[in-house]
Amino acid sequence: MLPKVGSSSLLEEGKESSVRTTNQSHRPFPLRILQFLLLLLGLGILVSFLSMYASRHLKLQNDVPVIHSSFQPCVEEPLSLRSWIRPPANLLHKMNDTELFWRASFAPKIKKYPFKRMPKIAFMFLAKGNLPLAPLWERFFKGNEKLYSIYVHSLPSYQPDFQSSSVFYGRHIPSQAVEWGRMSMCDAERRLLANALLDISNEWFVLLSEACIPLQSFSIVYRYISRSRSSFMGAFDEPGPYGRGRYNRNMSPLVNLTDWRKGSQWFEVNRKLAVDVVADTTYYPTFEQFCRPSCYVDEHYFPTMLSIKSPHLLANRSLTWVDWSRGGAHPATFGKADLTAEFFKKISEGQPCLYNNQPTSVCFLFARKIAPSALDHLLENSSKFFGY
C-alpha cells in the first residue's frame, strides 16, 4: 500500500506542476528570460553534481585509514568477529565494579581461538600517584609492543601527565580510594584484573607497585611466564601470629584453618585464575567480614581462595623479590648505594626454586622496593645489571 500512496502523490505533484506550467504558458513570457533560467538551472545541477563527486572523493582520500574496511556507515556494518575481539580503544568507561566484573567474567567455552592470537602479558601497576621508575620500565618494554599491555590504578585524585609517546599514556583505569591492609586493596586488584580481562589477548596478569623494577629483559620475562605450567602466586601455611594467627574461626566451614594461606600481594596469574578472582562471590563476603585489620586481607584472600579452588595451578611463590629481613610492617627500601652488580647477582643466584618441577636459580623477575632517587643510577647501568 505505502509505495502506491507515495507514487500517486508524486503523480499528483506532477499533475499540479504541469497544470501550473500550462497556466503560465498562457501569459506572455519572454523567451530569452526562460532560456536564461534554464541555463542557470542546468549550471546549478552540474555544480551540485561536481561538488558531490568532489566531496566523496576527498572524503575517501582523507579517511582511508578509518573507513578502510567498510565504505558503508557504521550502523550498516555487519557484525564481525573482529568487532567482538577488538580491545577497547579507551580505558575509561562508565561501568561500576558490579557491571565491570560481570562483563570481565566472560570466558569462551571453545578453547581453540578461530583467529591468530598473540598472547600478551598485562602489567598492572597498583600505585598511589606517579610511577617514579617509569623510564626504566619504558626501556624494558621497548621493542615488544605486541606482547604486553599496561594498566595503572592510582588514587582517583591523581592526574597522570605522561607524554603521548609514553607506554603509560592513557593507560589509567577508573579507580577508587585504597586503604592499606583493607578490602579496598583487593577491590583495586580485582578492578585491574577486570579491566585487563576486557582485552581478549591478555593471557597473563602481573601485579606490580610503583616501587618495583624488572630484573630481567623482556624476552626472558615473557618466556619465563608464558612457558610456566603454574601461576606465580605466593601461598604458604605459616604457623604463628602473622599466619595462622590471623585466621578467624567464623570462616569455617567455607575456609578451615588448614586451608588458610598467606602470600605476598604481588602475583602473576593466568587468564583462568584472573576470571576466577574477578568472578568470586563465594569467598569475598567471608573475607570482607572476618579478615579485618590486623588480618591484612590482601595477603590472604587470593592465596587462600585459589589454594582451595585450583591448588594444582599455583607455584606457591611470588616472582617479586622483597626483603623483610630488617623487620617491621614494611619491607626494606633500597637506594642507589645498595644497588650494585653484586646485589642483583645475589638476588638472581640466591636460594634455588622449582620451575615446572625442575630446580632453577632464576626465581625472581621483579624486585621491590626501590627508591625513586635510584632511577638515574639504574638507567645508567641497566644493561650491565639486567641485560636491557
Binding residues for ligand NAG, per CB under 6 A?
A: 96-99, 230, 252-253, 255-256, 259, 307-308, 311-312, 314-316, 340-341, 380-381, 384
Give the nearest distance from C-beta 229 to ligand NAG in angstroms.
8
Q: Residue 212 Cβ, how far from ligand NAG at the closest point, in Å? A: 20
Rank residues 53 and 236 by Cβ distance to ligand NAG and give the closer one.
236
The Cα 138–Cα 378 span in angstroms is 13
Three-state SS string over 252-305 comes to CCCCCHHHCCECCCCCEEEHHHHHHHHHCCCCHHHHHHHCCCCCCHHHCHHHHH
Smallest distance, ligand NAG to C-beta of residue 346, A = 14
Nearer to ligand NAG, 197 or 255 (CB): 255
Choice between 168 and 299, CB closer to ligand NAG = 299
Cell of 317: 611463590
Of the pair 197, 378, the CB lying nearest ligand NAG is at: 378
**What's the helix, strand, coil split of the chain in %, to 5?**
45, 10, 45
- Nearest approach, Cβ of 161 to ligand NAG (angstroms)? 28
User: Is the backbone peptide bond immediately before 346 cis, with ω within 30 degrees of 0?
Assistant: no
Q: How far is the CB of 274 from ligand NAG (least distance, A)?
A: 18
Burial 270-306 (b: 16+ CB within 10 A, else e): bbebbbbbbbbeebbebbeebbeeebbbbbbbbbbbb
Tell me whether residue 85 or residue 308 sits nearer to ligand NAG (CB atom): 308
Q: Are 317 and 364 in contact (CB under 8 A)?
A: no
- DSSP code string of 205-233: EEEEETT-EE-S-HHHHHHHHHT-SSB--
- Nearer residue to ligand NAG within complex by CB, 250 or 252: 252
Residue recorded with cell 637506594: 335
Q: Which is nearer to ligand NAG, 221 or 233 (CB)?
A: 233
Calculate the alpha carbon distances from 304 to 63, 141, 163, 257 in Å: 53, 32, 40, 10
Beta bridge partners of 318: none
Distance in Å, CB of 156 to ligand NAG, minimum: 15
Q: Give the 3-state secondary structure of residue 120.
A: strand
Smallest separation (angstroms) from ligand NAG to the CB of 131: 22
CA distances from 264 to 181, 200, 236, 330, 349 (A): 12, 27, 10, 12, 21
Cis peptide before 294 (omega within 30 of 0): yes
Residues whose CB falls within 8 Å of the CB of residue 271, separated by 6 or more in sequence, listed in order: 107, 197, 202, 203, 204, 205
Q: Is the Cβ of residue 225 or residue 314 nearer to ligand NAG in the bound state? A: 314
- Partnered with residue 370 across adjacent β-strands are 334
Distance CA 114, CA 221 (A): 27
CB of 65 to ligand NAG, least distance (A): 37
The smaller minimum CB distance to ligand NAG, of residues 12 and 99, is found at 99
Q: Which is nearer to ligand NAG, 270 or 316 (CB)?
A: 316
| Pick from 87, 71, 305, 99: nearest CA to 196 | 87
What's the min distance (Å) between Cβ of 331 and ligand NAG?
22
Q: Output the smallest distance, CB 355 to ligand NAG, in A.
A: 9
Q: Grid coordinates in use for 338?
A: 645498595
